[in-house]
Amino acid sequence: MAEQYLLEMNNISKGFPGVQALSDVTLRVRPGTVHALMGENGAGKSTLMKCLFGIYKPDQGEIYIEGRKAEIHNSKDALENGVSMIHQELHPVPHRNVMENIWLGRFPMKGIGPFQFVDEKRMYQDTVTLLKDLDLDVDPKAKTGSLSVSKVQSLEIAKAVSFNSKVIVMDEPTSSLTGNEVEQLFRIINELRKRGVSIIYISHKMEEILRISDEVTIMRDGRYIGTWAAADLTTDLIITRMVGRDLTERFPERTNVPGEVLLKVDGLTSTDHKSFKDVSFELRRGEILGVGGLVGAQRTELMEALFGLRGVSKGTISIDGKPVKIRRPGDAKKHGIALLTEERRVTGIFPVLSVYENTIIANLGRYQNKLGLLSESKGRAEAALNVEKLRTKTPSVHTQIRYLSGGNQQKVLLARWLLTDPEILLLDEPTRGIDVGAKFEIYSIIIELAKQGKSIIMISSEMPELLGMSDRIMVMSEGRLSGIVSGSEATEQEIMRLAAQQRMA
């Protein structure tokens, strides 16, 4: 007798102009299990899930739910078939309250005929019951915009449960969560699993996958590689099957040699005095300076101040021994500073513009002719050169950047800032949401830049990344510098002790 699956996606294929995203992919999910879906960026995971949720129509293949063939032409069909999807980018309606966000588009009504009104009392009671059932401590009348990321995510899970979903897809659900918030998410997942709900869990975090999953399906280059019991896998095995080769080292060898001091920051304090305060450090030419800390350490805010995006009330910034004033990004660019922001989808890429346009947009003056008109041929040539140099996977420089994988989008953003010829690169979580193979490529690029004499400040929330990539590690806690340690001598325990220093004081 054949094994019973809650969900079967059989022989799914999907192509776009210039790229075959999925080729004959199969995914089978058992009831009441957490099924991890893994693969490098561009492996086809998101495309497969969008086919399941009705965002894309497969070119071929069939979907079965509880043994019945499901016709899913749009998201409404998916929800009616018991499939919900929680996207990596959460999009609640911030000015409406929790219960309105949960029941949006299907408010309970009262009244007769044209004289119908939203039944607020029933909607409140239904929300209370739903949240209590999931053991979620959220006020149904709280404005959604006032909630933390983890609470908004819990709200999305509650909404999925309210549809009586049999399958819930979670795309990178822990990318913006703290350790305690991850534990809360896992508690909810385990509760759903007990009820027979199946979770399809997409993540690049190996430790999470091995801890929470029952089974793991791996994809590569739009193809199905295989499905294994999570208990039979190790991090090394997963990496090997994802990239199709042994990846013996997670980090390239650091061949850069830090030189003289290039940047000196002395007593820098934010305008509001609530962000970073009295921060002093030095950055050497050709150095990779890692920046560690817990959530709320104000690392991003400090980098934004160095790039002129945030006000400073006191303190000095010196480059090559000369004090400089940085009041706006234009000043930073003039002084050879570039910033790769933390949220590439929100503050980095222009999704509807091409790879070429995204590459040159920070340096348009370089491509203007004597009449002030844009020389497209010169811009396209440089964009193509950077695609080749950084090994960016794209059908062409005319492809809209939103169709590229996360790792390749990040390479385009790196190319954008490299064209400004910076001396100092501020990289805020440069590998967030990127798979292990693409991470290695980004690391190689960073080390090569440092070897060329560029100075790098790299914020990272991943401890192995800080330890594997940094010449020195600067640790912040609640807006203050709590210590600087040598990258070769640092330990996770030492960094965590420094990161928690102020909090325990």
* Mutual angle of helices 235-243 and 436-451, in 10-degree steps: 80
Could you give the CA distance from residue 72 to residue 63 in angstroms, rounded to a whole number?
A: 8
pLDDT at 1: 27
Best mean pLDDT range from 67-81, 359-373, 483-497: 67-81
Contact call for residues 89 and 433 (beta carbons, < 8 A) = no
Higher pLDDT, 8 or 144: 8
pLDDT at 178: 66
Domains of the chain by residue range: 7-243, 251-336+422-505, 353-421
Q: Write down the pLDDT at residue 345.
A: 67
Residue 131 reports pLDDT greater than 70: yes
pLDDT for position 240: 81
- Of 21-25, 131-135, 355-359, 497-501, where does mean pLDDT reach its minimum? 497-501
Domain 251-336+422-505 in the same topology as domain 7-243: yes
CA distances from 2 to 63, 70, 182, 196 (A): 17, 19, 36, 19
Q: Which CATH superfamily is domain 7-243 in?
A: P-loop containing nucleotide triphosphate hydrolases (3.40.50.300)
- Identify the H or E element spanning 7: strand 7-16
Give the pLDDT confidence score for residue 504 in this predicted structure.
Answer: 39
pLDDT digits (tens, 9 = 90+) for 104-121: 888 888 888 788 888 889
pLDDT of residue 457: 97
pLDDT for 223: 92
For residue range 146-165, what is the model confidence (pLDDT) as tens digits? 887 778 888 888 888 888 89
Residue 81 and residue 71: Cα distance in Å, rounded? 9
Contact 192, 198 (CB under 8 A): no
Lowest-confidence region among 64-73, 236-245, 317-326 = 236-245
Residue 416 has pLDDT above 80, yes or no: yes
Per-residue pLDDT reduced to its tens digit, 202-222: 987 788 889 999 999 999 888
CB 130 within 8 A of CB 123: no
Assign domain 251-336+422-505 to its CATH superfamily: P-loop containing nucleotide triphosphate hydrolases (3.40.50.300)
Mean pLDDT, residues 170-194: 81
Predicted confidence (pLDDT) at residue 3 exceeds the cutoff of 60: no
- Cβ within 8 Å of residue 385, ≥6 positions away: none
Averaged pLDDT for residues 227-250: 80
Encode pLDDT of 425-439 as tens digits. Answer: 999 988 876 767 778
Q: Do the Cβ atoms of 222 and 190 come closer than 8 Å?
A: no
Residues in the chain: 505
Question: Side-chain half-sphere of 482: how many Cα atoms within 13 Å?
Answer: 24
* Residue-averaged pLDDT of the chain: 87
**Once rounded to an integer, what is the mean pLDDT over residues 300-312?**
93
For residue 224, the model assigns a pLDDT of: 95
3-state secondary structure of 20: strand
- Compute the distance between CA of residue 390 and CA of residue 392 in angstroms, rounded to an integer: 5
Q: Using one digit for the tens of pLDDT, what is the confidence trace for 442-471?
A: 898 899 999 999 999 999 987 888 999 999
Res 246 pLDDT > 60: no
Q: What is the pLDDT of residue 370?
A: 75
pLDDT > 90? residue 337: yes
